[in-house]
Structure 1
Amino acid sequence: MIPLRRYGRRCPMHSHQENKPRKPRAPWRLEPLRKRLAWFTLACLVVATAGSIAFHRLGALPTGAVPQSTQILDSEGTVIATLAGGVNRRPVKLADISPWLVKATLAVEDRRFYEHSGVDVRGLARAAWVDVRHLSKREGASTLTQQLARNLYLSHQRTWSRKLKEAWYAARLEQTYSKDEILQMYLNQIYYGHGAYGAEAAARMYFGKSAKDLTLSESALLAGIPKGPRYYSPHLHPAEAEKRRHTVLQAMLETKEITREQATAASRDKPVVKPLPEEPDRNAPYFADYVKRIAVERLGIDERLLNEGGLSITTTLDMNMQRAAEEAVKRGFPKDSQLQTALVAMDPRNGYIKAMVGGLSYKRNQYNRVFATTRQPGSSFKPIVYATALEQRVVTPSTRFRSEPTIFYYDNNREIYRPSNFNDRYFNTEISLRQAIAASDNIYAVNTIMQVGPEEVMSTARRLGITSPLKAVPSLALGTFPVSPFEMASAYSVFANGGSKTSALAILRIQDRDGKVLYEAHPHSTPVMPPSVAYVTTRLLQSVFDAGGTAHRVAGMIKRPVAGKTGTTDSDAWFVGYTPELTAAVWVGYDRGRSLGSGDAHRAAPIFADFLEGALKEKPPTDFPMPEGVVSVYVDPGNGMLATSGCPKPVLETFLVGTEPTEMCSVHGEAEADKESSGANGGGWWKKMRRMWHW
């Protein structure tokens, strides 16, 4: 047994202030106010602390809060997951905890533990001074006893009133229990992440051994976790956990609990951490994990409070849509497939995430591929290119480029780019934008980005919600830079929502065990693209379901207006699409980037179609609302000119007002019957149709 040492006072280090530049003083009007506030606050804290120590006998310690499970609910209030339903805690005596862990904990959490009486007045004064000078609550200065009091009796809100209560309870604990008893309670109470409370449970979970058998290296790792159980988790952030372990070892060296040789040896001895135990079955497990991450990392909910505070978290998930997603994924793959997938669906009108599938089996692999930023979107990125060109009025639906092998020069003609079409299939003639989208012609896409400029495309991508790294090169048009399915669903939602972006939401409301609202979402939309551009892009993307389109094979599965785009690379298959009320992105591929087989490359679109109809089966079909600023006219698909009655297969095409063709087709001419009637009734049928769709 390594004896514990009670810490004495440490000699102050020489500061050498004469060598440091003086910090600029605050504005003269604020400096006196800050000083007065600082001294007033210090006086209040000293009086309150002294009062708590002097009169603590007047009140008994309250009963410690009983841990309650937090529930995650779908949008209708149905429980989809329960967090920490059985708290992992194994109380042990202090003698059954490794002295290395005790020393490491004291060195990094409370070096003067055996000197103070529950409250470190010097540390508290220093924290108050920093808080007042900076007009914020940036200092902690909680002793180990105060942390125990907070965990047992208080919330984790960073307020001065809570700090005063914390000091009161800490003083009462010091009067009621011995130092070793307090230390024992602390080491049995503190949260070490992943549902483990106390040193014994943590030692068994991370290292598969009892707390009394922990080595110095393992103890340093464990002692560093409570400061940020998620951030310093060796499972979630191994690099940060390793840095924290070295910090703990350095603290032990500074307090002379270990020698430099021991510190060096422990630094080299990296602990072997056990895999986390498999979680039981639950609804929407990938989504539940995402909700936990958002609550802790974005909303600032304390992880201990999240796991045992009895919170109620109402989410945006629609369980009917979630089941439709899971069933579509299951039907889309053969049994025991080695492929992986991701599906995320959201309501484009408010950003609510409605369904999320992060892989084929959560039990086998908890990695959520919805947020994987290692996958090339391929041609599913092209709508961003075309929307940019439409908005800049560089191209229109009638703009024609020749589909044939082409060499492109860029960077002042110093670089060459030779794109090719899938299987080297080309039209070998001029094609329209609609034809290019339907057939996913790469040459047309590169011609477009060369016309509008890669920088403009990148700007549009950022506006739509693409945050992954991109480069301003011609290959950007073909989706060669990895993005996540989540980003693609967010970007397409702007098209579906008429050009307005609403940030994705998973959590609507968080309430504590008493029903008090701790957080409530307030979604709002921001226009990032003209509605007319979003609408024209949508009309063009509907062509992928037409005869000859890349998604024509699934057109019969969908019974409502829908737009979307396929995307295929050597190792990734995508389909991203939407209706007015739902956007979904589907990715299929292998985790290690293995090449897809010919059959596997076509799995994404059927999964999308199956999911869409299942998710919206109770909702009637709705069309995309037409905004102002667009006009629909009949054109000849062969040349893009206004169709005449002689054109054999005219198509109704939608344009931004002012970009529609004005010349009549000169190839086919007017039918004889229409020529004769045009003088009598003022024009043929095609002229009436030109006017019928004008806004």
Structure 2
Amino acid sequence: MKFLKSLLILIFIGAIVGSAALIGIYFYIKPDLPSVTVLKDVRLQTPMRIYTQDGKLISQYGVKRRIPVKLEDVPQQMIDAVLATEDSRFYQHAGIDPIGIGRAALNLLITGEKQQGASTLTMQLARGFFLTREKTYIRKIKEIFIAWHMEQLLSKEEILELYLNKVELGHRAFGVGAAAQVYYGKPLQDLSLAQIATIAGLPKAPSVLNPISRPDRAVERRRVVLLRMLDEQLITRQQFDQAVNEGVTAKKHGAEIEISAPYLADLIYSEMVEIYGKEEAETGGYQVYATAPSDIQQAAQDAVVRNLHDYDERHGYRGPLDYLWNRPEDGEAPDTQAVEPDEPQQDAVNANTDDSPAEMSREDWDNQKMLSALNKVDRIAPLVPAVVMTVDEQSVDVLDADANTRTLSWENIDWARPYITDSRQGEEPETAADILREGAVIYIRKQEGEWRLAQMPTVSGALVALNPKNGAVQAVVGGYSFYQSQFNRATQAKRQVGSNIKPFVYSAALNNGYTTASIINDAPINQWNQATGVAWRPKNSPPEYDGPIRMRMALGKSKNVVSVRLLRGVGLDNTATYLERFGFQREDIPRDETLALGSGSHTPLEVARGIATIANGGYLVKPHFIDRVLDEQNTVLWQAEPVWACDECDEPDVRSVEQDVEQQLAMALDVSQPTSEMEAPKRSAPRVISAQNAFLVADMMRTGVQANGNWNKKTYWMGTGWRAKNLLQRDDLAGKTGTTNDSRDAWFSGFQKDMVVTAWVGFDDMNRNLGRATRNQNLINRNPERFNWIGNAMIGSESGSHAAQPAWIRFMKEVLEGKPEEALPVPENIVRVRIDRTSGKLTRRTDHTTLFEYFEKGTEPTSYVRDDDVVDPAQEDTKNAPEPEEIF
């Protein structure tokens, strides 16, 4: 009894001393303990996700991958696996597990090493939020106190939900939702038991237990998790046996991108970073919705890629990337490759062998070696590396980088005549052996369901589409591939616009007393400059002159000298100032007469904005890319409030269209503002030209994309963009081609009532012109009736109608499919009168020498043409007129 009494006294004293020590330690470290009250309103670092307007994921930005999930959405097996492995008594303790601590202490006394941490799930969460993984006693003590505080503040369910979303699980995945996507590309609900157990085993050492970096150790850890679940009777023996024998199915998955639109995503990302800063933008969990619908954006990307390949193919094949075997001997022409000395070469393949490829034969290459070599070739969608296996008379069999055997038919390789220069191509091939040989490493791509010989285009392109009513960007493509070049040519490349400037010059002319029927002399200009001693001789392209011509026809035919004469009639300074109305920057507008020919440099987005002013009736809208911004709880933080092309909006225009949009967005994203008060009525965009002026320019542009007049009566003429009407078979289209000196830049800008689109093609090297394509008989034989305008079969000098307009046509064909035609509304004070086709005067005749023309009321002609002055084209010699078979 005496011994027992002494023992009780010692225990009592020890308890008092221990409690005192514990209290002392608590007050000693209390100033260093963080406040856990922040966990009541915790904001997990969640990446920014960017979606199309209709909700398809474009991109995700942020170092940490996290997909927050509610506890009720987590599968019960995932909860069971985590608790069985990390803290089986989670619901029995108050954040600190005395049994676990005792077991760890005993292990420390026996081994002298810190092998067991005794951390409960709550303690792990405390460490994850407030501490580090440093193995020190003071950190463990802090961890205990913080965990105890957390248990007082939060419910068990709140702690568990935070843990499941916070825990680090390797490969930048934080939380079980992100881990399911990163390792298996699935939502949590679709995971198998084996996959759940793999993820549940990662918190112990995510860098070395994950199934991608160390699949062997992941399998061992998975078995431990499954055994713990079996011991806790959370799974049956049958479930255990099935899961433990399942193979490793993990591989690294990116974000579940539904549509790849990197140029658009990058624009939105840059705007968000400018407002928030990089760290907040990437971790704030913002869900940003673009103004671009997914189908329209995809159509734009497809149109640009196809158009650049068409250009590239009609200029010839530059040859294989490399050879695995059967390499041409020194001095022997390497198949069709004939590149100029300054032409950038495509990257060669370094074979996966110590031997030189030139010394190897077909027998040295098994499929595994070939695939290894192909995997070293840059893979830029839609291009797929492949090696030529066999060459038949008019077909080729290849093995692609995905281990698929493909057959390229003659129709998909016969375009590949040799490239010599941008303006010269070799002879058409007659057999497949004229193009390729076995062992050649090439690119292939899929087109219209068939695999086709391909190469990386060296030419660049861009396309931007706007809603003319409010400036919402419907699509933006800044080049062939963002992963090849991140330079966004749609928004960053200021290039000479050529004849794309003429609609704005003609608008200035209408604003200064000219009409669509004004007669301008289409005759050569020869102006001597005394200061420079040089004569300026602007020429039409082609150098053909029609003499006195109506303004409508001059714009439709893109007459250069008429544009210069109109500039002179309006005045250089007046015209330059007038162009600023369309949003063009003053410093980009030349102050000489070359302005009329498009010597100024603007981006495709700037041109599209200017054209939108013509399409929407005279309003200058502000292009914008972001439609709305949501937080992690799907609460709308900000909704775009664009200015609209309308006279009777709900609210007058109280802010300039040029007000800084980033400042507006930054103010709107202040979450302290009630979201319910952020809805605003429509605001009117500033009117910069009259509705009548805009309509008349638009109507002139409409005749510029079609064939006009009567062939039999010899009044027939074609606008430079005639292919648009011919191919799309719509009367509600308008547009303008644009080609600069030496064809360095090719443009086409056009619109339908609800869509304005600008397409551009050119080389990034501004000294390099687009050249010309000679006749490829193989393609003509396949399309004899349409050879001069179908894609890679087009011949002649590259121009806006050849190089850029096909992308515009393909895009518009896709987005206008099934939509009814909608003509531009005729505004008030527009009259339509019959005029003489040649003089532009009123006429009493009703035959083919006349036509109806629109005028702003009060500007229509007042005098009638005399019968003696009437010109009947049917009686004139028109031997130089185009042949009717050119019109389809």
1:327 is displaced (CA, Å) by: 1.9
2: CA distance, partners of 1:69 / 1:618 = 38
2: CA distance, partners of 1:535 / 1:421 = 26
Q: Give 1:565-576 correspondences, 5 Å limit.
A: 565-569=736-740, 570=742, 571-576=744-749
The equivalent residue for 1:546 is 706
CA contact (8 A) 1:375 1:482 kept: yes
2: CA distance, partners of 1:480 / 1:591 = 17
The equivalent residue for 2:492 is 372
1:289 is displaced (CA, Å) by: 0.4
The equivalent residue for 1:76 is 54
Amino acid across the alignment from 1:555: K
2: CA distance, partners of 1:84 / 1:647 = 69
Instruction: Give the TM-score, by structure 2 length.
Output: 0.46
CA contact (8 A) 2:590 2:599 kept: no
Q: Give 1:596-635 correspondences, 5 Å limit.
A: 596-599=770-773, 600-601=798-799, 602-635=802-835
Selected match of 2:474 from 354, 377, 380: 354
Q: Mark the CA change 1:415 to 1:457 in structure 2 (over 3 Å): closer, same or farther.
A: farther
CA contact (8 A) 2:47 2:286 kept: yes
2: CA distance, partners of 1:152 / 1:470 = 56
Cα shift readout 1:467-518 (whole Å, capped 9, x = no counterpart): 2521221110110011110000000000110001210111121122234444
CA contact (8 A) 1:636 1:647 kept: no
SS class of match (1:371): coil
CA contact (8 A) 2:47 2:61 kept: yes
CA contact (8 A) 2:843 2:865 kept: yes
CA contact (8 A) 2:706 2:724 kept: no
The equivalent residue for 1:456 is 574
SS class of match (2:746): strand
Amino acid across the alignment from 1:404: A
1:287 is displaced (CA, Å) by: 0.5
Instruction: Give the TM-score, by structure 1 length.
Output: 0.58
1: CA distance, partners of 2:706 / 2:619 = 27
Q: Give 1:190-589 correspondences, 5 Å limit.
A: 283-297=260-274, 300-332=275-307, 333-334=309-310, 335-336=454-455, 337-393=457-513, 395-408=514-527, 417-427=536-546, 429-467=547-585, 469-524=588-643, 525-547=685-707, 548-560=718-730, 561-569=732-740, 570=742, 571-589=744-762
Q: Mark the CA change 1:418 to 1:504 in structure 2 (over 3 Å): closer, same or farther.
A: same
SS class of match (1:369): coil
1: CA distance, partners of 2:484 / 2:827 = 47
2: CA distance, partners of 1:311 / 1:555 = 43
Number of residue equivalences: 436
SS class of match (2:617): coil
Q: Give 1:136-147 correspondences, 5 Å limit.
A: none
1:295 is displaced (CA, Å) by: 2.1
Cα shift readout 1:22-57 (whole Å, capped 9, x = no counterpart): xxxxxxxxxxxxxxxxxxxxxxxxxxxxxxx99886
1:420 is displaced (CA, Å) by: 1.0
Q: Mark the CA change 1:627 to 1:73 in structure 2 (over 3 Å): closer, same or farther.
A: same
CA contact (8 A) 1:646 1:670 kept: no
The equivalent residue for 2:24 is none
SS class of match (1:607): helix
Cα shift readout 1:97-131 (whole Å, capped 9, x = no counterpart): xxxxxxxxxxxxxxxxxxxxxxxxxxxxxxxxxxx
CA contact (8 A) 2:748 2:804 kept: yes
Q: Mark the CA change 1:310 to 1:649 in structure 2 (over 3 Å): closer, same or farther.
A: same
Q: Which runs of 5+ in 2 are unaligned?
A: 1-28, 67-127, 131-141, 147-171, 175-253, 311-453, 644-684, 708-717, 774-797, 872-888
Q: Mark the CA change 1:651 to 1:598 in structure 2 (over 3 Å): closer, same or farther.
A: farther
1:639 is displaced (CA, Å) by: 0.8
The equivalent residue for 1:252 is none
2: CA distance, partners of 1:279 / 1:480 = 44
1: CA distance, partners of 2:696 / 2:466 = 22
Q: Mark the CA change 1:323 to 1:462 in structure 2 (over 3 Å): closer, same or farther.
A: same
CA contact (8 A) 2:64 2:173 kept: no
1:655 aligns with 2:630: no
CA contact (8 A) 1:419 1:443 kept: yes
2: CA distance, partners of 1:635 / 1:454 = 30
Report which of the two structures shows the higher radius of gyration computed on alpha carbons: 2
Q: Mark the CA change 1:321 to 1:57 in structure 2 (over 3 Å): closer, same or farther.
A: closer
Higher helix share: 1
2: CA distance, partners of 1:668 / 1:280 = 74
Cα shift readout 1:406-465 (whole Å, capped 9, x = no counterpart): 1347899999632111132222x2111111111111110000001111222222222211
2: CA distance, partners of 1:432 / 1:152 = 75
Amino acid across the alignment from 1:470: I
Q: Mark the CA change 1:414 to 1:627 in structure 2 (over 3 Å): closer, same or farther.
A: farther
2: CA distance, partners of 1:58 / 1:491 = 56
CA-atom RMSD in angstroms: 3.3
Percent of matched pairs sharing the same residue: 30
Q: Mark the CA change 1:410 to 1:486 in structure 2 (over 3 Å): closer, same or farther.
A: farther
2: CA distance, partners of 1:559 / 1:668 = 39
SS class of match (2:702): helix
Amino acid across the alignment from 2:824: F
1: CA distance, partners of 2:475 / 2:827 = 29
SS class of match (2:703): helix
Q: Mark the CA change 1:75 to 1:60 in structure 2 (over 3 Å): closer, same or farther.
A: closer
Q: Which runs of 5+ in 1 are unaligned?
A: 1-52, 89-150, 154-171, 177-194, 198-277, 672-695
The equivalent residue for 1:44 is none
SS class of match (2:568): helix
1:620 is displaced (CA, Å) by: 1.4
SS class of match (2:588): coil
Q: Mark the CA change 1:54 to 1:464 in structure 2 (over 3 Å): closer, same or farther.
A: farther
CA contact (8 A) 1:559 1:613 kept: no
Q: Give 1:57-72 correspondences, 5 Å limit.
A: 59-60=35-36, 62=38, 65-72=43-50
SS class of match (2:601): coil
Q: Mark the CA change 1:396 to 1:408 in structure 2 (over 3 Å): closer, same or farther.
A: farther
2: CA distance, partners of 1:619 / 1:80 = 26
Amino acid across the alignment from 1:351: G
1: CA distance, partners of 2:539 / 2:870 = 39
2: CA distance, partners of 1:414 / 1:662 = 44
Q: Mark the CA change 1:57 to 1:589 in structure 2 (over 3 Å): closer, same or farther.
A: closer
2: CA distance, partners of 1:307 / 1:644 = 71
The equivalent residue for 2:21 is none
SS class of match (1:595): coil
Amino acid across the alignment from 1:666: R
CA contact (8 A) 2:849 2:870 kept: no
CA contact (8 A) 2:836 2:870 kept: no
Q: Mark the CA change 1:284 to 1:58 in structure 2 (over 3 Å): closer, same or farther.
A: closer
1:384 is displaced (CA, Å) by: 0.6
Amino acid across the alignment from 1:564: G
1:85 is displaced (CA, Å) by: 6.7
CA contact (8 A) 1:279 1:363 kept: no
1:551 is displaced (CA, Å) by: 1.1
